[in-house]
């Protein structure tokens, strides 16, 4: 896989005429797990949706130096996998049929008629997420953690070079938070560009290769976790102070107390 690249130049996104995201410029390359963080209302989800092609934007958005607008619908669906927050399913479809929807951009309309290649990809996605045992279960009867992993398997089955995940670890227990982030990091190691919106600064600091910090609709910092998650930055954007740990040379960070920047 060629390492994909997303380029944003002066991207502004309006919802109902109001600019939610303004003047964002970023250049993100494949092979990295990028955590997109920021306080509530910072515009993280809006930016992610625009990158997924779900919201119109002003400014330049390009994949591998090719304008996003020039991609056909299906082509873009194969390039960018998008995992929305909430993991909603409206029908009690069997879990394996949900995962099979990941092959939709590749022309798979009927999950009962899969080519050997497609079913291998679906099985592999379910193996990676540890959901093989759930194949026949109705998606609406799964627990939160199971459903989150099925949805992750669904987006992995797209095999898109760019993977956008909106709060993939929200409402998961600690083990599944780590499992999901670990899967995302493995995907990045294989050359994909993985961008995950998260509120979990501890996980972001521990797992991400790069952090993009947003506040008030703009990107205020972007770089390696140590640089972005400085005491000053945390106080300015979140109004908190963090406890810092060192575990065998690996730095850790725990949001500790409210502290407004003077």
Partner 1 sequence: MVAETEARSASLSVRQHSRAWLIPGLGMFVAGLFVISLGVGPVALPPADVIAALLGRGEAAHRIIVWDIRLPRAILALAIGAVLAMGGAALQGLLRNPLAAPSLFGAPQSAALAAVATISLGINDTLGWGLPVAAILGAFASVFLLLAIAGRNAGLLLLILSGLAVSSLAGAGTVLAMNLAPNPFAALEIAFWLLGSLEDRSMRHVTLALPFITLALLLLWLQRGGYRALALGEDAAASLGVPVERLRLTTILGVAMGVGAAVAVSGTIAFIGLIAPHLMRPFVRHDPARLLVPAALCGSALLLAADIAVRLIPATSDIKVGVLTSIIGVPFFLYLIVRERRSLSGGMA
Binding footprint of partner 1 on the chain (CB under 8 A): 49, 52-54, 73-74, 76-78, 80-84, 86, 88-94, 97-98, 101-102, 104-105, 109-112, 123, 135, 138, 151, 154, 158
Considering the complex, state which of residue 134 and residue 213 has its C-beta at the smaller distance from partner 1.
Answer: 134
| Residues 197, 202, 208, 213, CA torsion sign | positive
Q: How far is the CB of 179 from partner 1 (least distance, A)?
A: 21
Closest to 13 measured CA to CA, from 56, 49, 42? 56
Owner of token pair 């996104």: 13
Considering the complex, state which of residue 88 and residue 190 has its C-beta at the smaller distance from partner 1.
Answer: 88
Considering the complex, state which of residue 113 and residue 175 has its C-beta at the smaller distance from partner 1.
Answer: 113
Q: How far is the CB of 81 from partner 1 (least distance, A)?
A: 7
Q: How far is the CB of 250 from partner 1 (least distance, A)?
A: 34
Q: How far is the CB of 79 from partner 1 (least distance, A)?
A: 10
Alpha carbon distance 131, 139 (integer Å): 12
**What backbone torsions phi and psi does residue 121 show, to the nearest 5 degrees?**
-65, -40
Considering the complex, state which of residue 5 and residue 78 has its C-beta at the smaller distance from partner 1.
Answer: 78
Count the helix, strand and coil residues of the chain and give each as a percent rounded to the nearest 5. Answer: 35, 30, 30
Q: How far is the CB of 124 from partner 1 (least distance, A)?
A: 12
Considering the complex, state which of residue 73 and residue 247 has its C-beta at the smaller distance from partner 1.
Answer: 73
Q: How far is the CB of 90 from partner 1 (least distance, A)?
A: 4
Cβ atoms within 10 Å of 94's Cβ, excluding its own: 15
CA distances, 51 to each of 15, 62, 109, 118, 159 (Å): 15, 9, 25, 26, 17
Considering the complex, state which of residue 172 and residue 228 has its C-beta at the smaller distance from partner 1.
Answer: 172
Which residues are CB-contacts of 41 (< 8 A; sequence separation ≥ 6)? none
């Amino acid at each position: 896989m060629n390492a994909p690249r997303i380029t944003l130049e002066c991207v502004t996104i309006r919802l109902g005429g109001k600019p939610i995201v303004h003047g964002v410029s970023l250049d993100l390359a494949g092979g990295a797990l990028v955590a997109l963080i920021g306080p509530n209302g910072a515009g993280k989800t809006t930016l992610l949706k625009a990158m997924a092609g779900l919201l119109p934007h002003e400014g330049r958005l390009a994949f591998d130096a090719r304008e996003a607008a020039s991609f056909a619908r299906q082509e873009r669906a194969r390039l960018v996998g998008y995992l929305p927050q909430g993991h909603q399913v409206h029908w009690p479809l069997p879990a394996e049929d949900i995962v099979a929807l990941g092959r939709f951009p590749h022309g798979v309309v009927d999950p009962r008629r899969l080519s050997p290649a497609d079913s291998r990809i679906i099985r592999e996605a379910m193996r990676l997420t540890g959901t093989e045992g759930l194949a026949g279960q109705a998606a609406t009867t799964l627990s939160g953690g199971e459903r989150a992993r099925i949805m992750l398997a669904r987006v992995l089955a797209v095999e898109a070079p760019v993977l956008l995940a909106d709060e993939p670890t929200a409402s998961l227990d600690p083990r599944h938070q780590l499992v999901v982030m670990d899967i995302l990091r493995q995907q990045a190691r294989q050359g994909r560009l993985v961008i995950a919106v998260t509120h979990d600064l501890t996980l972001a600091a521990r797992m991400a290769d790069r952090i993009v910090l947003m506040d008030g609709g703009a990107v205020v910092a972007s770089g390696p976790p140590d640089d972005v998650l400085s005491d000053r930055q945390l106080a300015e954007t979140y109004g908190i102070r963090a406890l810092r740990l060192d575990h065998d040379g690996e730095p850790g960070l725990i949001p500790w107390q409210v502290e407004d920047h003077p």
